[in-house]
Amino acid sequence: MIYLDHAATTKVADEVIEAMTPYWKESYGNASALYSFGNRSKRALLEAKENIAKALGVSETEIYITSGGTESNNWALKGIARERREIGKHIITSKIEHHSILHVTQELEAEGFEVSYVETNEKGELDLEQLKNSIRRDTILISIMFANNEIGTLQDVKAIGEIAHQHGILFHTDAVQAFGHEKIQVKEWHIDLLSASAHKFYGPKGVGFLYIRKGLKIRSLLQGGAQEGGKRAGTENIPAIVGMGVAASLAMKELEFSQMRLSTLRDYGLNILEKVEGCVIHGHRKMRLSNHISVSFPGVLGEELVIMLDLKGICISSGAACSMGTGDSSHVLQAMGFSREEAYGAIRITLGRETTKEELDKALSEVVEAVGKLRMMNPAYRGERK
């Protein structure tokens, strides 16, 4: 098998599994227990938070464990909106956010909040002028993703943070695709809240974190025990948290090398695909995740291409993993100005730490061959070419 869907999820690193195992088999105590056996788990929890905090240049007391990116995004938006509803009821986000933001803003709208959805250009870059013009006296939060999962475009997070803070507005960024892959300077870039998810950076699934700037008041999503300083109840999943901490350390150690290696491989892949007749590259050519390729081929449906490649043992995706099977075409590409039909054509190829040039070569030659076959089978496309 050739796995090229690292934006959907990553394989847990061997070092991570090794670090997690003792916390299932031996040190399984409850981190809240008073005896020293429980204390071992508590120490492991703190160490994991220290590793994550170091990667962001923040304090470990500002890291709150969650069940992943979805919970972190839900918590950031609902927690801040409900805490600040007396101050203001206006939130700004973008049209290309992940559904764990957009479905939450819909719910907040039903609760009486008002939301502005800022547009992007055809490369997926946020319109900063429109962002500034959307700001109102009652704006309480700006939430803009760091990197888009479907098209890979990176936002100018520093500029967005500056705009937010110049107006005294809190800034949240969904960094689920970026943490562990991109350098993030939380303090310098005026980030107040940041979401991340371990399974996107070679950690286990079902665990993530929310960075919450010290002193920031936020309502809890989960009520119960006093875990996470009383902000997020529930017995901690220590093995998973330990794994996330080790994965964060590993990612930081490999960051520069991995970015260099993967962006070279990515550009090599883009150059090959670009030569296919009609190929459209989605997202920004340079300001994009180093492992991310998103393209479409007129006359070809993304899902058909994914299935044909699956028959050859190659895993790629036709957009966001979480939209699969819904029958919807990408809201991201449509927001960028592509038609529904064009959006149905997109495929996403995302590289990982174990991806080799040989694997990419093999996968791309299969893509090119499949595009040719699918176009031959599409009478509308053949008609157009005559």
Active centre residues (catalytic): 322
Q: Which stretch binds ligand PLP (CB under 6 A): 62-70, 77-85, 276-284, 367-375?
A: 62-70
Q: Is residue 51 within the footprint of ligand PLP (CB under 6 A)?
A: no
Compute the least distance from the CB of residue 215 to ligand PLP, in Å: 26
Binding to ligand PLP by CB under 6 A, coded x per residue (else -) over 247-286, reads ----------------------------------------
Q: Contacting ligand PLP (CB under 6 A), which of 10, 51, 70, 318?
A: 70
Report which residue type is found at 311: L
Q: Is residue 69 within the footprint of ligand PLP (CB under 6 A)?
A: yes
Q: What CA dihedral angle connects 138, 143, 144 and 150, to 10 degrees?
A: -130
Compute the least distance from the CB of residue 329 to ligand PLP, in Å: 17
Residue where the block lists tokens 């013009």: 133
Q: Are 299 and 278 in contact (CB under 8 A)?
A: yes
Q: Is residue 16 within the footprint of ligand PLP (CB under 6 A)?
A: no
Nearer to ligand PLP, 177 or 290 (CB): 177
Q: Contacting ligand PLP (CB under 6 A), which of 177, 318, 350, 355?
A: 177
Nearer to ligand PLP, 33 or 322 (CB): 322
Q: In which region does residue 229 sit, left (phi positive, over 0), alpha (psi from -120 to 50) or beta (all else)?
A: left
Order of strands, edge to edge, in the sheet holding 208-212? 63-66, 208-212, 193-197, 170-174, 139-143, 90-94, 114-118
Q: Is residue 155 within the footprint of ligand PLP (CB under 6 A)?
A: no
Residues in the interface with ligand PLP (CB under 6 A) total: 14
Residues lying near ligand PLP in the complex (CB under 6 A) are found at 68-70, 73, 98, 100, 145, 149, 174, 176-177, 197, 208, 322
